[in-house]
A and B are shown apart, each in its own frame.
Chain A
């Protein structure tokens, strides 16, 4: 399944394999960008079928709950997304194995925090096998985790990328995705843009960092701050 980003697709030999396990590691502090990237991958891999998002309770507390409105704005159909709240990593993995056996699903995303003991090489292989057998994509989304050996087809390290600062309109969500493992070929690092309208990734020019723009106008934060100060003075 092609991602839409030419460089990445060439490196992946045409695109991501659907019947496989893919791992997305979030760089510390960039959890939501990684979640967005994973949602994009899941949407591409699911190809119109339903998506099951399994998350640990801790992830929702620490990094926020998955929001239907956010998925909708990214171009995913919230009616096709099921959310499973797992108390522990064990539950999440068990549920994922069960779900990967259901061919009605297009993709299963599993969101885990840290390096749970139960997610060892065996567990990772089990996920891969289940994904291969039923051709349901498995996506492991890892927050604050060390990279450990696993049987994933591809492994990504993801951080947010700054949007082009000169634009008046805020650009599409951007991520810097580093392909650190690829069973089929080379690795690489790209800045990609998720096109919310087309539902695919696109190439984009990396923006220069550090450019600072302050919005002007009456409703701007500066005006608000000014007002606050006046209030305090009064």
Chain B
């Protein structure tokens, strides 16, 4: 038996079959239960662990349908529309799910019906039943009113009114029910009877396309995994090609024989369709994983899903070299991003601002998109660069000294240098209209020291503080 704490009271949270045979029930104070059955073995409830286990089970159930939703604290809802024929019919599918979960030492109850609510009510009270469409009302009418999982006062009110089964409750006039319990209850009963439908929401967005392969004998070697990914990618690619589409996100789902599910996703900058390119991305990603893919006792199902679908032109149409080169470059960026992370491979994009430090942005090359502005050269013909090749993210403070003979010296990074030239200022107004910026303008100077090194200096006109903002080539 499992005991949990609700408020200040220790209550019975869950019971096993033996304990319920003693007449204990969920929600009973723990002290009462102990008084009734002194040899009770009590385990403390661990709600987060339960939730995690439920998530893991939901992951495992992904092998039957991508449309899985959790129904906490201990229920799972699977939408099997359109997939049951793959497993030999509805009854066979239900029995297989129950059987396999039971083999993992879970106590399972399950039922199948056209609506989630009906299936849930039936699972609790008529384990293993499959209700054909249209038969819901007949099937759930004899179930006790508790099966609807209503809140405590409502259930109690029904019981007091002598309405013990769902059928009896639903037999009342709708107006009466609405007047007494509100429209919500009528809607609940309607959904239970399949007169209205409340969709279940899947745990994760459904992929646009997917391909999968089952293995009678779990596979574990790298070669077989790569071969499988390649053939799945080929299958996906065929699907995509039929519609002239490509995927910008791919996810490989590895179902381990012992129930653990691992998902690995890669992204592409442009819509992708070539199986070889897909597999190369996964190869890079798998090689760079901090915790490598552990096959354990082997994978018995591998699935490849394609997401973020976009138009993709067939490669054969692109004979001009520029487009091919663009594409090659895109593949390289994708591979580097898969290996090192997408924020490590960057592209420069111009920004519409006059402030030199913000004149360009470094964006992830995969998602940088087309430039919104054009690059503006500041230098006139024949002139030296007016912006430094390297700039510091934070300007480094510097002291500028003028010696007696009229020469300037700077002190930066603990060395003194003599300046041979200094030119400025180029005064640039800062965003004084924005709150938070204390100064309204900054002066920029170009300076060259005795060795020919050119520095890009700034000076705050208010404080008079000099700093090195960057270095010219």
Contact = CB atoms under 8 A, between A and B. Distances in A.
A164 B345 CA distance: 39
Interface stretch (B105-113, B130-138, B355-363): B355-363
B344 A30 contact: no
Contact of A215 (B339, B388, B423): B423
Nearest to B287: A94
Contacts of B418: 212
Given A74-B389, A221-B400, A231-B464, A105 B450 contact: no
A78 interface: yes
B422 A83 contact: no
A98 interface: yes
Contacts of B384: 163, 169-173, 196
B239 to A, nearest CB: 28
B386 interface: yes
A196 B377 CA distance: 11
Contacts of A174: 452
B73 to A, nearest CB: 43
A65 interface: yes
A49 B402 CA distance: 47
A160 B329 contact: no
Given A29-B451, A162-B452, A39 B360 contact: no
B365 interface: yes
A203 B9 CA distance: 90
Contacts, number: 235
Nearest to B359: A69
Contact of A224 (B325, B393, B459): B459
Interface in B429-458: 443, 445-446, 448, 450-454
Given A102-B329, A212-B418, A70 B448 contact: no
Contacts of B88: none
B11 to A, nearest CB: 51
Interface in A101-150: 102-105
A51 to B, nearest CB: 11
Contact of B387 (A39, A73, A99, A211): A73
Interface string B370-390: 010001011101111111111
B347 A99 contact: no
A37 B473 CA distance: 8
A184 interface: no
Interface residues of B, number: 74
A194 B389 CA distance: 13
B215 interface: no
Contacts of A18: none
A69 B328 contact: no
Interface stretch (B37-45, B203-211, B310-318, B330-338): B330-338
B348 A73 contact: no
A218 B341 CA distance: 50
Interface in B275-319: none
Given A67-B387, A69-B356, A221-B424, A214 B408 contact: yes
Contacts of B327: 104
B421 A165 contact: yes
Given A36-B473, A69-B360, A83-B347, A63 B329 contact: no
Contacts of B381: 197
B339 A98 contact: yes
B390 A163 contact: no
B453 A29 contact: yes
Contacts of A102: 328-329, 331-332
A49 B375 contact: no
B191 interface: no
Given A32-B471, A37-B473, A160-B451, A70 B402 contact: no
A163 B452 contact: yes
Contact of A64 (B383, B392, B419, B421): B392
B340 interface: yes
A165 B325 CA distance: 45
A52 to B, nearest CB: 8
Contact of B451 (A79, A105, A162, A172): A162
Contacts of A94: 339
B382 A169 contact: yes
B389 A32 contact: yes
Contacts of A160: 451-454
A161 B329 contact: no
A95 B445 contact: no
Contacts of A155: none
B453 A67 contact: no
Given A82-B333, A98-B336, A214-B406, A196 B348 contact: no
B14 interface: no
Contacts of B452: 33, 159-163, 174, 176
B346 interface: yes
Interface of B: 324-329, 331-333, 335-336, 339-340, 343-348, 350, 356, 359-360, 362, 365, 371, 375, 377-379, 381-393, 400, 402, 406-408, 415, 418-425, 427, 443, 445-446, 448, 450-454, 459, 461, 464, 470-473
Interface of A: 29-33, 35-37, 39, 49-50, 52, 60, 63-74, 77-79, 81-87, 91, 94-95, 98-99, 102-105, 159-163, 165, 169-176, 194, 196-197, 209-215, 219-222, 224-225, 227-228, 231
Instruction: Return the 4 tightest CB-CB contacts between A and B, nearest first.
Output: A36-B473, A64-B390, A73-B385, A70-B389
Given A69-B387, A78-B360, 5 more contacts: A69-B378, A73-B379, A82-B346, A82-B365, A160-B451
5 contacts: A30-B451, A64-B390, A70-B391, A78-B375, A79-B371
